[in-house]
Amino acid sequence: MKRLGPVAWIVIALSTGLLALLVYGVVNTGVDDSLDEAVKSGRRPVAPGSTVALRRLDGAGRMSLADLRGKVVVLNFWASWCDPCKGEAPLLQRAQKRLEREGGTVFGVTYKDRASASRDFAREFGYTFPSVRDDELELAPEFGTIRLPETFVLDRAGRVVAISRGEITDFRFLDHAIDEALKEPAA
């Protein structure tokens, strides 16, 4: 039987390490749907990333979900290049009008979008709600957001009441989710 030389052992070690990295990558590329599962099962998990402060789209400093504690929040991830975001834009502005009367707000988060394009989009669709820029993806991954648009309705205590992963095409979803969020007092 022939013994393996040092070069063969190095090749075997590197191949084993590469294979281990490949297996790790395949196993860990799934979307984190734990937030979705919790909401589907009737729990109201605390919204992640509440302290992540992002630059406001209007340039007036930074803002985070923690700044909105005590309000019902419709958190929406959007971008100017997203066609489904254009489709749901009027529904979000409609939700904003309702929330303004009831002590809440829509909170827009642009997803890897040019600031000028985002501002143009917000102007075109008449957005009156605050929006921030998530250019470095500091907040979106906290919610498992990888596709646009995505919307999360939060109660006054900052807990997730409802999730829409994809375009909202019917205002009834938002209306019902806001009703549910308004039932809970702030914690």
User: What CATH number has the domain bearing residue 42?
Assistant: 3.40.30.10
Asked if the model's pLDDT at residue 123 lies above 80, the reply is: yes
Indicate if 11 and 41 belong to the same structural domain: no
58 and 85 both lie in a single domain: yes
**39 and 45 Cβ atoms separated by less than 8 Å:** yes
Do 122 and 91 reside in the same domain of the chain? yes
Query: Rg for the chain (alpha carbons), in Å?
Result: 21
156 vs 44: CA distance, rounded Å: 12
**Residue 185 CA to chain centroid, in angstroms?**
23
For residue 5, the enclosing domain spans: 1-30
Domain count across the chain = 2
Same domain? For 139 and 179 the reply is yes
In tens, the pLDDT along 141-163 reads 999 999 999 999 999 999 999 99
Q: What is the pLDDT of residues 3-43, one digit of tens each?
A: 777 776 676 666 665 555 544 444 444 556 889 999 999 89
Please classify residue 167 by burial: count the beta carbons closer than 10 Å to its beta carbon, then call 0-12 exposed, 13-18 middle and 19+ buried.
middle
